[in-house]
Structure 1
Amino acid sequence: MKITENFTDSLSEYPLVLSIGMFDGVHIGHQSIIQKLNVIAATKNLQSAILTFWPHPRKVFNPNEDLKLLNTIDEKKYLLQKNGLQQLFLKEFNQDFRNLTAEEFVKEILVEKLQVKHLIVGYDHTFGKNRSGDFALLKKMGPEFGFEVEQVQAVNYNDHHISSTQIRNALSNGNVIYANEMLGYNYSISGKVIHGKKIGRTIGYPTANIEVDLIKLLPKKGAYIVDAFVKNLHYKGMLSIGTNPTVQGDSLSVEVYLLDFDEDIYGKEISVNFRKFLHEEIKFNGLEELMVRLDEDRRLTSEFNF
């Protein structure tokens, strides 16, 4: 997949079949659009492409909003490439870009810079200053500028439209199984292993503290069964998101205990996939109570069918 970042002075080398959007999560609805792009690209001798933005436009419109995303930019690149996309155009969403009218966006970006010949948009897609552009405008401008346009409907799951917002809500409620079903893969976080308070090792449960990208959405506080990957090796794990109230913790941490693992991995990268929510964050009356619960969580994790 070829990646072009902030293409101010760049032109696409090939005519494109393009879709536009944030594609946060690259969920099964997004995957169906990419499949459609690839089929049209093969049929019409075009290249499949997506135009997406960074930062998220909501951060520009509402800079004080604490918006968390399903993917970091590197995760999004990986998922788009994995789904067979040929070109990714990553545009900085700034005030100048925000002020382009819908007509200017079509002429200057889609036609002149990207050579779009076929455009696929979502059922609710709007664009341009004050969101004045929509499917009807694209249909009107298409013949004049030599591109076709089609609109795709949302993919439904359990009588709900699949959307990044639906997935964020599911994760925020601890419903990782439902989120994973909508994503089409297991939600993950990754980061460097950093030093923590090292209380876990004193009770036989040494944990790896994960430094997570600040833009990344963390699921609901509590304990989870996870897959963990360290140095390309797979381990079963149980992960905690919370403030460690039993030992008077005061800051949020993400800690994972790996079954059948005993290595020093400080400074190493670790990735975990969420598989099942175990329970809410609990404040125990002491370390003995905590150990009893950890023993039970370990039993449930070891018996889980990964």
Structure 2
Amino acid sequence: MKIISSTDAWDFSDPVVFSLGMFDGVHLGHREIINKLLLFARREHRPSVLLTFNPHPRQFLSGACHWKYLTSLSEKADHLSNLGVDYMIVQSFDEAFASLSPEHFVGDILIKKLNICSLIIGYDHHLGRDKKGSYTHLKTLSLDYGFILEQQPAYRLCHRAVSSTNIKKALSERQLTWANAALGRPYSFYGIVIHGNQLGRQLNFPTANLAISSEKFLPAKGVYAVKVFLEEKEFIGMLNIGNRPTINSKETRIEVHIFDFAKEIYGHTLQLQLIAPLRKEKKFSSLADLKNQLQKDKEITRKILHDLMISQKAIK
């Protein structure tokens, strides 16, 4: 997949099959749109082009300073590339872009610059200033300009619409099973290993403290069973997100205990996949009680991940 820095940088003249949106998470609902995009592209023998925005339009329009994303731009690009999209345009969402009317956006950007022959949109998508470009409005414009317009209906999982907003809500409520199913993969994030206060070593549960992007969305505080990836090697472990109330800490820490692992990895980048929630964060009466609970957490984590491995083998 080739990444284009803006619509102004697009310099191809051939007609394209096109879609646009944030695609944050590249979840199952997004994949339905992308599958249709690729189907149309193959059928019409045209390249598939997807336009996404940076920052999120809602972040720009609301003035929010700390918008949280399910996928970083690079993670999104990796997922889209793996799905087979030919081009991703990353459009800066600024005052000039936000002020475009649906007519100007379609006529000046989609037709004159990008030369679209088909447009695939989601069920809740609106184009242009003040979201005036509804499906009905776009249908009229498609007839005026002669391009095919296709709207993908909502994708539902367990009677719940799959959307980035609903996935964030599920993660915030520790509903990891639904969130992972809606994503089509375990929710994951990357972190750089930094120095901590080494309390875990005192408890015989050494942890890797992680620094992650301030824009990354985090699930609810608590303990999770996770898979850990380091330099293409896979490990298992348990992750804690929280303030460590047993030692009266106020600082939120993200730390992972990797099972059967003893290397120094400061400065290395880990990828963590969240597999299952274990428990909420809790204040224990002593470090000894905390250590006993960590041992129980470890045993439960081993069982969860062992059972997962068995079930995956059975499916294969």
Q: Is TM (by shorter chain) over 0.5? A: yes
1:190-244 Cα offsets, whole Å, 9 max, x none, are 1211111111011101101111111111000000000000111111110000011
Question: What is the CA–CA distance in structure 2 between the aligned matches of 1:181 and 1:224, rounded to whole Å?
Answer: 17
The answer to whether structure 1 residue 95 and structure 2 residue 95 are counterparts is yes
Which residue does 2:166 correspond to in 1? 166
How many Å apart are 1:13 and its aligned residue?
Answer: 4.7
Q: CA RMSD in A?
A: 1.2
- The reply on whether 1:293 has 2:297 as its aligned counterpart is no
- The alignment's TM-score, normalised by the length of structure 2, stands at 0.94
Are 1:11 and 1:112, in contact at CA under 8 Å, matched by a contact in 2?
Answer: no
- What's 1:11 paired with? 11
Greater mean alpha carbon deviation, residues 239-248 or residues 4-13: 4-13
Query: Any conservation in 2 of the 1:224–1:238 contact (CA below 8 Å)?
Result: yes
Tell me how far 1:123 sits from its aligned partner: 1.5
Unaligned 5+ residue runs, structure 1?
A: none
Does structure 2 retain, via aligned residues, the 8 Å contact 1:226–1:238? yes
Identity of aligned residues (%): 37
The residue that corresponds to 1:79 in the other structure is 79
After superposition, what is the alpha-carbon deviation per residue over 1:42-76, rounded to whole angstroms, capped at 9, x for unaligned?
11011112111000011111113643111111111
User: What secondary structure, in the 3-state scheme, does the structure 2 residue paired with 1:8 have?
Assistant: helix
Greater share of helix:
2
SS of corresponding position for 2:7: coil
**In structure 2, C-alpha distance between the alignment counterparts of 1:172 and 1:198, rounded to whole Å:** 28
Deviation at 1:146, TM superposition (A): 2.8
| TM superposition shift of 1:187 | 0.3
Q: Which residue of 1 aligns with 2:134?
A: 134
Residues 1:236 and 2:255 are matched in the alignment: no
Q: Distance in 2 between matches of 1:303 and 1:13?
A: 56
The amino acid of 1:147's aligned partner reads F
Give the letter aligned to residue 104 of structure 2: E
Deviation at 1:12, TM superposition (A): 3.4
CA displacement at 1:39 relative to structure 2: 1.2
- 2:265 is equivalent to residue 261 of structure 1: no
Aligned to 2:311: none
Which residue type is aligned with residue 116 of structure 1?
A: I
Superposed, which structure 2 residues align to 1:124-273 within 5 Å? 124-273=124-273
What CA deviation, in whole Å up to 9, does each residue of 1:67-96 have, x standing for no partner? Answer: 311111111111111111111111000011
| In structure 2, distance between residues paired with 1:13 and 1:2 | 16
The TM-score, its normalising length taken from structure 1, stands at 0.97
For residue 171 of structure 1, what is the amino acid of its counterpart? Answer: L
Whether 2:284 is the aligned partner of 1:284: answer yes
| Partners of 2:87 and 2:146 in 1: CA distance | 20
